[in-house]
Amino acid sequence: MKKTIAVLLCALLLVAVPAQAQQEEATVIRAGALFDAVSGRLQQDMTIVVRAGRITEVGRDIAVPEGARVIDLSDATVLPGLIDLHTHLMSSHTRLGAHRGEFLFQYPERAVLLGSVHARQTLMAGFTTVRDVGAPGSSALALRDAIAEGIVTGPRIIAGIGLGTTGSHCDRTTGLRPGTGDFDAFRRYVFDGPDEARAAVRRAVRDGADVIKICATAGVLSMTDEIGPTQMTVAELEAVVETATMLNRRVVAHAHGLEGIRNAVRAGVHTIDHVSVLDDSVLREMRQRGTFIVPTMMAFTEVMKRIDDLPPGPARKADAIRPLVRESHRRAFRTNVQVAFGTDAGVAEHGKNAEEFGLMVDAGLTPVRALLSATRVAADALGRLDDLGTIEVGKRADIIAVPGNPLDDIRVMERVNFVMKDGHVYRD
């Protein structure tokens, strides 16, 4: 008899436990309005069901599964988790005026600690995925893995390693006294010529890079290079793209000057970031090839705000490029080129990433395109549209909410008050 009861109990448990677990796992979000990043429209009174970190149902007349946790966002607008394609989590905007060589004085481990603070701020602002495009040593890779393992709270990180030619914006010793900083670690991702470019891409992928970042032109904050010139030959750019593509990695180019941007587009670079100087013909080529631009308007705003703190070289470059940038971005927004979202947080302030939306809309981008830039279009630029960027069945449950209607007032995006990543609620 005892044995029979035991067997019966076991049988009951076998049936009951999985069903109960499934019920407990279900989380239901009641959305007053939902931004549909497929159609670009707002849909009223929608329900989203989440199980095991994924979206399992989305619709209007969905019954709440028994035992499900219900999150009431009926007075809010719900959107896909935001994506920032240009961050430097290990850098701080408060150090913008510091000499770029200050990394010589700091313990590399400090960078990851700083990054973990910025990562939390970024997630709480509604950014559930970021692409990090330049950090000291292996810090971005370490932080990426620690967040994925749940050790540290932060967004999903797509970690880039930055490659550049000798003396370029991506060469960390640019502007230092000759011989200073001639360590293997600093030369690791510096190359000259197509063959070395291929080796550098392979080394970056071996070291753990998810994406390859290159400096196609000079930068504002590097010391001795000029802002306009290209810093890679066409052959080097093509070698980078060919090798990265072979290894299933995308390429992101830092580029300010027109010629460098044009060369990068023709070489097949996937996203071009900053894009300070654009003309109609390069925008036409971008549209034909499906190239994404990432304007990083916040970076320029922050640099201009702090121009008096900058060393003379960077200050002069910032001043020279100022009138061109705004006109170029306005010109781009008048076309249907694919605009993807990036802030250059690290140059700009972490956790304030959503201020980019207001800058984009002020420069003529429609609110719908601004929202798409940080959702579906950004996921597409990453090659992660199967997983991220929209609220659809099967995708990761990265879901945020804002009070009010961002299509009426884009600045409500700066007041994110609900954040879910992979089905876990981080802010409510």
- Return the residue nearest Zn ion (CB atom): 344
Stretch touching Zn ion by CB under 5 A, among 287-295, 340-348, 365-373, 399-407: 340-348
Q: Closest CB to Zn ion among 77 and 139? A: 139
Binding mask 30-69 for Zn ion (x = CB under 5 A): ----------------------------------------
Q: Which residue in the block uniquely carries the two structure tokens 């540290």?
A: 152
- Residue 132 engages Zn ion in binding (rule: CB under 5 A): no
User: Minimal distance in Å, beta carbon 254 to Zn ion?
Assistant: 6
Q: What Cα–Cα distance (Å) separates residue 354 from each residue in 209, 337, 381?
A: 26, 21, 19
User: Minimal distance in Å, beta carbon 273 to Zn ion?
Assistant: 7
Neighbours of 32 (CB within 10 A): 18
Q: Residue 255 pairs with which residues in a beta bridge?
A: 274
For residue 354, what are its two tokens? 């959503």
User: Binding Zn ion by CB under 5 A: which of 84, 344, 356, 380?
Assistant: 344
User: Minimal distance in Å, beta carbon 213 to Zn ion?
Assistant: 8
Distance of CA 82 to the CA centre of its chain: 9
Q: Closest CB to Zn ion among 47 and 173? A: 173
Q: Residue 265 pairs with which residues in a beta bridge?
A: none
The residue type at 18: P
Stretch touching Zn ion by CB under 5 A, among 9-17, 76-84, 301-309, 342-350: 342-350
Stretch touching Zn ion by CB under 5 A, among 15-23, 344-352, 375-383, 408-416: 344-352
Neighbours of 18 (CB within 10 A): 10
Distance between CA atoms of 381 and 398, rounded to whole angstroms?
17
Distance between first and last Cα of the chain: 51
Q: Closest CB to Zn ion among 90 and 370? A: 90
User: Minimal distance in Å, beta carbon 346 to Zn ion?
Assistant: 7
CB-hemisphere CA count at 13 Å for 366?
A: 10
Q: Closest CB to Zn ion among 36 and 344? A: 344
Q: Which residues of 391-416 are buried (b: 16+ CB within 10 A; e: fewer)?
A: beeebbbbbbbbeebbbeebebbbeb
The residue type at 274: H
Q: How many residues bind Zn ion (CB under 5 A)?
A: 1
Q: Closest CB to Zn ion among 344 and 356? A: 344
For residue 57, what are its two tokens? 């149902």
Stretch touching Zn ion by CB under 5 A, among 48-56, 90-98, 205-213, 339-347: 339-347
Enumerate binding residues for Zn ion (CB under 5 A).
344
